[in-house]
Structure 1
Amino acid sequence: MTRHFLSITASLISALLIVSCGSGEGPDALRLALETEPTNLDPAFAVDYSSGWISSLIHSNLVRFEPDGTIVPDAASGWSISGDGLEYLFRVGGARFSDGRPVTAFDAERSLTRLIGPSTASPRWWVLEPVAGAPAFHAGRAARPGIEALDDSTLVIRLASPASHFLSLLAMPAAGIVSPREADSLGRDYGRKPLGSGPWRLVSWTSGDAMVLERNPFSRGAGSGPPKIEIRLIPETMTRIAEFEVGNLDILEIPPAELEFWR
């Protein structure tokens, strides 16, 4: 495998998403290392860098960022915005959870409502603060926010006031779509056993040591590129560099200030 070094978080995420959609035969696994271990892979609680990054590989959103910052469809196949900027209509279809179940608009409604809900107590609920009624719902003063699935393939989100950046908020890790069945049954343990519809699924997590992701076989683009991502937890910078130099890692993330040294 050709090895790469990456200088910023966005590049690392983009590289793995590109690998997940690539073509042709590849190696058995993409090997990389993280400085810090994730604390929680539940989108509602993925507040640190490692957690947010890996959660984004496991969960799809209604929309996502391209490497150049463009917003493109993800679990939603498309959307429209009302003339007054207050109503977003998403067409949901085509995505599947890693157990094969299709992602519906009701799953998206449950996931986004869960993020805001007072019983969830997510530190990232503010991502959906522009939604009509969201602050009151989060505070327990309203029955529901302005998020409604009309049928399996149609989701409507109503805002309290126009927010030109709202699609960008929906692309953030916190707005990832979880499997409601697993989230309900596992409760707080969902962060250790997530089930999403992103390009990868978690198959093992040994605390303090390593994580292994495998392709979601039901994801768009499944079947091309490496079938696994092996993530080692290596806190020491020099150890990560040494492992990269001897060929035990395929990707090395480095600070932008050190980029010139590696050219």
Structure 2
Amino acid sequence: MYMMKKSVFLALSSVLVFGGMMTGYEGAVQAAEPKVLRMNLHSEPPTADPGIAEDTTSGTIITAIFEGLTRLGKDGKVHPAAAESYTVSKDGKTYTFKIREAKWSNGDPVTANDFEYAWKRALDPKTASNYAYQLYYVKGAEDFNKGIGKAGDVGVKAIDDKTLKVELTNPTPFFPELVAFKTYFPVNKKVVEGNKKWADEAKTVVGNGPFKMETWEHKSNLTVVKNEKYWDKANVKLDKIEFTMIEDENTELSMFDNDELDWAGAPTSALPIDALPALREAGILKTQPIAGTYFYRFNTEQAPFTNAKIRKAFAYAINRESITADILQAGQVPATGFVPPSVALNKDGYFKDNDLEVAKKLLVEGMKEEGISKLPPITLIYNTSEGHKKIAKEIQDQWKKNLGVDIKLENKEWKVYLEDVHQGNYQIARGGWLGDFNDPINFLEMFQEQDGGNNDTRWGNSKYKELLNQSALEQDPEKRKAILMQAEQILMDEMPIMPIYFYTQSWVQNENLKDVVIDGLGAIDFKYADLTKK
């Protein structure tokens, strides 16, 4: 998922508000105080539409107000959600889901048709979903998305209102986990087709999740409240979540310190790097490794990064160890590969960190191949964040010192940044990827297609693509791993992206806040959360 999710940047905070009320007669019992959690989103969610959302900020809101066939529980395991049960054929290629009795937030029944419609809508080339490829496990999905197949040939069909049949191209053991991901969420056809901008305003957003959107003041705040029409409302303990949208991490931490927020930091934002030692010493800093990689993209269609040797020179000429130890200070691991440690294919990586001798040699060779004696002006773009800025300035200094190269830094607001990256309006751009499911393919498949939804490097390689296709057919886990390792080797040999470090998430939270679920991929879910009285 872009961090930007999945490459995405977010922020989270919360506060408990007590509004105790008394009934109007003598001896009345005090009513239960509403449980209101105040959080901070680092930036404006680009959308509330699960079919086109690609970032973690949007994903945080969508996970609260929608629900897929399955949902990850407090135990980290997959549990039935919109589907109350499912069966799998002997060959592992056909899933039949039984849809439970449930309603949309507007009172409409949730049916199997909502899932068939949503998946085919995300795959429709007209929708232009950058996450459509996540549905390619479904038979016929890729051909339809690429305009060479028909919607009717896609292997998802509502047999009746409560039965959804899904045919897969190959056995996919992690499919029950995959359908808990937002691109597989249902949408209400009547709502979607009745208003093209349905996902842009609180009054028109209709979901099927534990919460429903109440207000959305763009670039300011957003609130969700408990959805009384949700099938499992008895297990939803929060009455409301109030999200602010503050980009400054120091302000966010101050609000937490002043008891105005119940949370500061990841996964919806970040803590100020300078504050980490003190928070750690105070014993309140929470940190966990997640399946995610922080990297820089090269636009392989813009000089000088059309040349692989020049890309590798830039990648080899930075000191990741100093970046993680001296700047980040939260247990991040230097990355010399793209696939994170939780699913690593090669735990030793594919190149040497801070390999200056080789970097200088590659830069000379690359420039000679391009017939240039001087590099063109180069700009690195990143989205607004103090952490991104500090990393960019450090790398800027290292490239100047180690390669003699001057780099211009440019900060962009999140939505503008995403648009520029997708349109290729950059030379080097910050990136981040948190897994959507815990398997190496989820990282490597991003670069399978040259014009793929989240590639954005303009890089493609036929052998790389062939290996990923081959891995989908290999049933032996070790053989499959070997195939994927070959693919990652190609990715690192060509270096369309420059890995920098593997993520950890760090945050502080109100000790009275319980059962906020952050999975191993870094996604956050408030369905089970509870706030107890101080």
The 3-state SS of whatever aligns with 1:187 is coil
CA distance in structure 1 between the aligned counterparts of 2:63 and 2:171, rounded to whole angstroms: 26
Q: Is the 8 A contact 1:127 1:174 kept in 2?
A: yes
- Alignment of structure 1 residues 30-45 onto 2, 5 Å: 30-45=37-52
Write out per-residue CA displacement over residues 169-192 of structure 1, whole angstroms, 9 at most, x where no aligned residue: 211122111111111112244344
Q: Which runs of 4+ in 1 moved over 6 A?
A: none
| Contact 1:25/1:225 (8 A) holds in 2 | no
Q: Are positions 1:80 and 2:87 aligned together?
A: yes
TM superposition shift of 1:241: 0.9
Would you say 1:95 and 2:108 are equivalent positions?
Answer: no
* Equivalent residues in 2 for 1:179-190, closer than 5 Å: 179-190=188-199
Counterparts of 1:111 and 1:198 in 2: how far apart (Å)?
15
Matched, 1:206 2:233: no
Tell me the equivalent position of 1:66.
Answer: 73
Match of 1:244 in 2: 256
| Match 2:206 to one of 190, 195, 209 | 195
Q: How has the CA–CA distance of structure 1 residues 163 and 28 changed in structure 2, closer, same or farther, with 3 Å as cutoff?
A: closer
**Equivalent position of 2:417 in the other structure:** none
- Alignment counterpart, residue 169 of structure 2, candidates 134, 140, 160: 160
Q: Which runs of 5+ in 1 are unaligned?
A: 1-8, 13-23
CA offsets 1:129-183 (integer angstroms, 9 cap, x no match): 1100001111222222100000011000000111112222211122111111111
Could you tell me which amino acid in structure 2 is paired with residue 260 of structure 1?
R
1:14-48 superposed Cα distances (whole Å, 9 cap, x missing partner): xxxxxxxxxx9453421111111101110012111
What corresponds to 2:246 in structure 1?
A: 234
Aligned-residue RMSD, C-alpha: 2.2
Find the structure with the greater CA-based Rg: 2
Specify the alignment match of 1:4 in structure 2. none
Question: Contact 1:201/1:214 (CA < 8 Å) preserved in 2?
Answer: yes
Deviations 1:52-107 (A, max 9, x none): 11111111101111233311111101101100011000000222111122201111
**2:52–2:122 contact (8 Å) kept in structure 1:** no
Q: Secondary structure at the match of 1:44?
A: coil
Q: Distance in 2 between matches of 1:150 and 1:249?
A: 47
Q: Look up the SS of the partner of 1:201 in the other structure.
A: strand
Identity %: 30
Q: Indicate yes or no: 2:239 matched with 1:219.
A: no
The residue type paired with residue 127 of structure 2 is: T
- Matched length: 242
| C-alpha distance in structure 2 between counterparts of 1:69 and 1:154, whole Å | 26
Name the amino acid aligned to 2:81. D
Q: Structure 2: which amino acid aligns with 1:150?
A: I
Tell me the TM-score normalised to structure 1 length.
Answer: 0.85
State the alpha-carbon separation in 2 of the partners of residues 248 and 47 from structure 1.
30
Query: Quick check: 2:191–2:198 contact (8 Å CA) kept in 1?
Result: no
Distance 2:138 2:232 in 1: 32
Q: Give the 3 Å change call, closer, same or farther, for CA 34–166 of structure 1 in structure 2.
A: same
Which amino acid in 1 is paired with 2:83?
A
Structure with the bigger RCO (C-alpha within 8 Å, sep 6+) is: 1
Distance 2:198 2:175 in 1: 29
Residue 150 of structure 1 corresponds to 159
Unaligned segments of structure 2, at least 5 residues = 1-8, 13-30, 285-534
What corresponds to 1:107 in structure 2? 114
Q: Aligned partners of 2:143 and 2:36: how far apart in 1?
A: 46
